[in-house]
Structure 1
């Protein structure tokens, strides 16, 4: 047998094997046996290792059937169930750069007029997916059915699908009345006293809407509405009925309204997330967070206070333990961000981090009144604020 010419001294190897006790055959056979035993051990070890677990390398979100996708602005990943637990990994202090979208499944019902929309909302149940055809839907509409965590109810349309409330003096364009586990996406709400109102709503998402030409506030969550997400909406032209009520996003209720709305109890609309929204042309705050609310997040939003006449900041926090991070604001009549204590025990424990306040006004970037245990991190920035970064030392 011809040996390969690779520089190895094959004749010398044959001579040494021939000189060993038992001859080369015995030694070669032993070597083969040893190799086989090693291979067997490796095989048994590999087969006894635990099989990989699906999703073990990261959280597993809800599975949404394929269908229409409504693309929204850059924000973080939609949680599987808002407010049910801490997100894995460190909490970002600046806007998250990834792009997400709320995916609407194939429609179970498609509507093209106001009567059809009213009927579809009334008949909806877990797993229903309502698609709005382009066109104007005159009137005000109420959704009261409840979805479930694994079978939410969808109401989806493009920007050309318009709910028109018929006037800024009265009515809610879309009223979510106890409507848990809904996904509201993509269409336009205009010309109503209030744009989208949520009463007793939990685990729902309001995403990618255009809300404009509104008498009071654009989007409001109250009456024990918790664990919801308000994301990627474009809000403008509010306060056309009364300028001091023209907020962009409003969470909770003022204590003066608790008797009428919550039977006198604090309105614990907790753990709501307001993120990735573009808010301009509001006559009051872009985001107003009321006493009685706890543990929410305002992150990655863009504010323009050029039209603010009924307030003096973009964000006013009167609740407890909110995180306000990674937002950018420009032009305010006084301060960029504020806290207030209007009810004993509230307006405390709030944290501001990674925000950019282009105030171009006479106040502070961050004004805490009173200071309490609220915190302004040193990674916040104030530009054009006559009084400086904050009325407290950053930490």
Structure 2
């Protein structure tokens, strides 16, 4: 996947147009809004592209309401869009603000995005009804791809998380990791080749420190840290790992293999005791994958624009933590595999990943204070059967864009045993397919467990957007006799079709 950037801006002095032009909607004057519309093509591939439009107010008064319109050439259509109401007449498209992003305060901005099927760029763009520069749009631009490895961050997807995790102006969680300065030897890297070498040679207690930039390649490690001397991979958010794979012939079960590129953004295989902090993983088949890698902490990372799952604790990667991180825009190519955070493996995959008595025992994983969504096509968190005693606490789930494929219609599908799910905030708004906020399921496995049982919900806040039935739906009580799921009265729900839960509340 190649990444490009095209920017246009309309100002009071005139129009600077590289492509996708937009218009200054109102003249500069005292105590008045002054809007600039900027459109960035954040990704392009052979049959389409993704673009993001941003309306910025450089005036000294708030603007209320915006509408961006344009035409697309024959053969190109808008396949999907987000953060705006889209209408279409033939090849003419109209994007209008939603209720929560229509006000553009002085010095602030609002944005929306879209995916195009076809390569034709918008023409005849208008902002709030006025033509761009008083005439037709400029012809399609000449776009140069970013370099494979650059010393500066990729301009397309590494600058800041977008869109906002909720309808509040302040994003959550914290944009940076909370780790301490390195105490052991430090290896500084600035190119993809240097990173590959450092991952292959890492030793206990070492810190690999990424310089800002885009690193394109296959990044994996089998190096082992220790409880007293973990290995750390750290970098700023503008250090972006991208894997353009996969390539080669895969083995029957995923394992680092010569001549095969998994397509994973970062892969730890039999590599316990690592700390991954601060950097970004984007534009890869899967984001971060941990196989047989217990005691790994992921802190303050940003995972986005991923073809399948965002972060996967797999093959008994127990006692891990993911915290203070953002996972969004997953399942872009395979929506049915687009979970944000995936704990364990389905029983049908234990033949490959069941390395603990035939089971994937990715137990006791903690998912803390993350923002997961929007446009996570699968569940925000999928807790798989055969895993035990994890903690899901303090997260924000934005359900916009959940696909409904492969039963992905809730923030969390709890098929594991003994999880504590507390103090999370979940919201849902269209587009998407949404049945309930949290669900349990009870798959039968060999060896057998009381899957989907013994889980506890406490202090969660749910807004079901007038679409979801229950905040917490317990599919079965009869299958959990002796280890029932518990829903405390401290959970709350708004905009539910049916109610808080379908079982009796516990004080």
- TM bucket, shorter chain: 0.7 to 0.9
| Aligned counterpart for 1:108 among listed residues 186, 196, 199 | 186
CA shift at 1:334, angstroms?
Answer: 1.3
Number of equivalent positions:
300
Alignment of 1:174-185 (within 5 A): 174-185=266-277
Q: Specify whether residues 349 and 144 from structure 1 end up closer, same or farther in structure 2 by C-alpha distance, changes over 3 A only.
A: same
Partner-residue secondary structure (3-state), 2:435: coil
Q: 2:485 aligns with which of 370, 374, 380?
A: 374
In the other structure, the counterpart of 1:124 is 202
Determine the C-alpha separation between the residues in 2 that align with 1:268 and 1:161.
Answer: 32
1:207 aligns with 2:314: no
Which residue matches 1:239? 331
Judge conservation of contact 2:173–2:371 (CA < 8 Å) in 1.
no
- Greater CA drift, 290-299 or 357-366: 357-366
CA 1:341–1:229 in structure 2 vs 1: closer, same or farther (change >3 Å)? Answer: same
- TM-score, scaled relative to structure 2: 0.57
Contact 1:318 1:339 in 2 (8 A): yes
Task: Give the structure 2 partner of residue 258 of structure 1.
Answer: 350
Please identify runs of 4+ aligned residues in structure 1 that moved more than 4 A.
167-170
What residue is the counterpart of 1:365 in the other structure? 471
Deviations 1:263-285 (A, max 9, x none): 68121111110111101120010
Q: CA RMSD in A?
A: 2.0
Contact 1:157 1:187 in 2 (8 A): yes
2:239: which partner in 1? 161
- Give the Cα separation in 2 of the matches to 1:240 and 1:246: 7
SS in structure 2 of the partner of residue 117 of structure 1: helix
SS in 1 for 2:305: strand
Q: Per residue, is there more helix in 1 or in 2?
A: 1
Q: Of 358, 364, 370, which residue of structure 2 is paired with 1:271?
A: 364
Indicate how the Cα distance of structure 1 residues 296 and 164 shifts in structure 2: closer, same or farther if over 3 A, else same.
same
TM normalised by structure 1 equals 0.73
1-structure distance, mates of 2:285, 2:186: 31
Given that residues 177 and 300 in structure 2 are in contact (C-alpha distance below 8 angstroms), is that contact kept between their aligned partners in structure 1?
Answer: no
Q: What corresponds to 1:135 in structure 2?
A: 213
Cα distance between partner residues in 2 of 1:234 and 1:246: 15
CA 1:178–1:110 in structure 2 vs 1: closer, same or farther (change >3 Å)?
A: same
| SS of structure 2 residue aligned to 1:145 | coil
Q: Which 5+ residue runs of structure 2 have no aligned equivalent?
A: 1-171, 248-261
Work out whether residues 180 and 201 of structure 1, in 8 Å CA contact, stay in contact via their aligned partners in 2.
Answer: yes
Q: Are the equivalent residues in 2 in contact too, given 1:304–1:329 (CA < 8 A)?
A: yes
1:33 maps to none
- Higher alpha-carbon deviation: 353-362 or 283-292: 353-362
Point out the structure with max Rg over C-alpha. 1
- Cα distance in structure 2, aligned partners of 1:261 and 1:203: 17
CA shift in 2, pair 1:278/1:267, >3 Å: same
Distance 1:347 1:104 in 2: 40
Give the equivalent residue in structure 1 for 2:290: 198
Which residues in structure 2 correspond to 1:1-20 (within 5 Å)? none
Residue 151, structure 1, aligned to residue 151, structure 2 = no
Does 1 or 2 have the higher relative contact order (CA < 8 Å, sep 6+)? Answer: 1
- Partner deviation per Cα, 1:122-155 (whole Å, 9 max, x = no partner): 1111111110001111012112111111111110
Q: Deviations over 1:269-325 (max 9, x none)?
A: 111101111011200100000001001000000001110013110011101000000
Gaps of 5+ in 1: 1-94
Q: Distance in 1 between matches of 2:215 and 2:435?
A: 39
